Structure 1
């Protein structure tokens, strides 16, 4: 039995949780309020990411998929305005990538020197530890960005969000169907139902 899928899921979950924590802390949101919903989405995303990388050889697509899923998650579940969820996700991803790149250079000299899977796991844990330490301290000191959320919303945002989520899963599912990875398409479908549930629930609560 290969432990590679288990290792990938475990360390990728730590890494992606750190990205979630970075974004929530940077923009002064209560990360604990949504931790279980975030963990559910992160686990599903990491599973489809493993399939994309190992079954389809589409490792270059995985980061883009993660960015889109986080945008939808922050808009539908955390209730960020759509424009803020886009800004927060992209800026958070860029900062996270910058920290990881810096650690890569400090520990290995270059990306090509990482070599083994164990070194890759170590880098993921080191990046997560740095993010939790730095942004935990900044959050406790009251640092970060805040916005008037109502001013960033527009009237048809909930409808647009639902359409974007629906279009996203249709596009990805078609791609995966023609590559015969039905399990991955099913994972995206589950995530879509989850995000649409929160999106429509928000609309009902705000009505």
Structure 2
């Protein structure tokens, strides 16, 4: 299975809505955290049954900067739980998120992880992909020597997405869904206390 990891804080709500329309099976990486209700700055995992870049080719407003594509045999919920174990950190007695859902952060920080964390990462993922500087290509990342990653350039068309497995994430009922109407906040009796927000930092 292939999962698109999308950073809403970086790429915006407009593209998020397009992705929700294209990939109805998804989960916020803030699922079951204090920030679960933050939909407009959350990172998301989308179960991919088709490629994504045609959205950008057809619509110049679509942004897919520094996205990651994970290839895994695990369920989406298992991947969410695993990634949360990596990015949720304590700093100065205050919890923060390490933004490993941004490809730049993941690539720059991987070498500094413990060997245990690196091995666990590639136990969860067969490999992962980032966009190559040449349009139409991806970098495929695999474990290398000396705590480093190695990459190989492949055509984006070489990935066979198949069909996302059924029964993992009910699209409409998945916790962490954005509000039905994302164009305006709730008002009056419907308005609830704003959720806590985390500080983000890049290693």
TM-score when normalising by structure 1:
0.27
Name the one with the larger strand percent: 2
Structure with the greater relative contact order (CA < 8 A, sep ≥ 6): 1 or 2?
1
